[in-house]
Amino acid sequence: MVRVGDRVFASLATGSGAFVVAVIAAIGIFLLLRAIPALRTDQVSFLFSGAWNTSDPSHLSFGILDLAWITVSSSVVALVIAMPLSCGIALFLTQYAPRSLARPFAYIVDLLAADQASTALFCSCGPASARRAPASVSLYCLKLSINS
């Protein structure tokens, strides 16, 4: 027997999820419709060109190849740095560290990995942000490796 509260919650959760998907789809459609005129006047390939000249509106030439390359390469560098570090921390905390050390660190990992935005804010605030960033990134990756 399904309770009324369960049905109401399920309906609200489903409706909220559908609403979020509809809003994201509407934003995507709006942005695409607003971009079509600029993409039509583009003189070079948008995806496969690195040219960026928007000074003359009648002869636009812009491409995202350089931006895509930087995004992919910085993500690869981040993975190369974070994965061995996070796997090492996870291995240490789960196999070698005493429980008195592993439990507080697991709690810190839970706090840092709960929300990416708070982790990014934690990394970017304060004078010692450069020293905290690698530790928080590795702890976040540790949380991902422990949960998977």
Quick one: tokens of 87?
A: 């796997």
Give pLDDT tens digits for 1-29. 889 999 999 999 999 999 999 999 999 99
Quick one: tokens of 110?
A: 């839970």
Alpha helices in the chain (DSSP H): 4-41, 65-91, 99-113, 116-124, 129-147
Distance of alpha carbon 103 from alpha carbon 58, whole angstroms: 62
Contact 146, 94 (CB under 8 A): yes
Name the β-bridge partners of 113.
none
Distance of alpha carbon 135 from alpha carbon 128, whole angstroms: 12
Average pLDDT, the chain: 78
**Does residue 119 register a pLDDT over 70?**
no
Place of tokens 């559908």: 18
Share of the chain above pLDDT 90, in %: 26
How high is the pLDDT of residue 82? 83
Work out whether the CA dihedral 113, 114, 117, 122 comes out positive or negative: negative
What is the widest separation between alpha-carbon atoms in the chain? 68
How high is the pLDDT of residue 87? 86
φ/ψ (deg, to 5) at 52? -145, 95
How high is the pLDDT of residue 115? 62
Give pLDDT tens digits for 27-73. 999 999 998 888 888 778 888 888 887 788 777 788 888 888 999 99
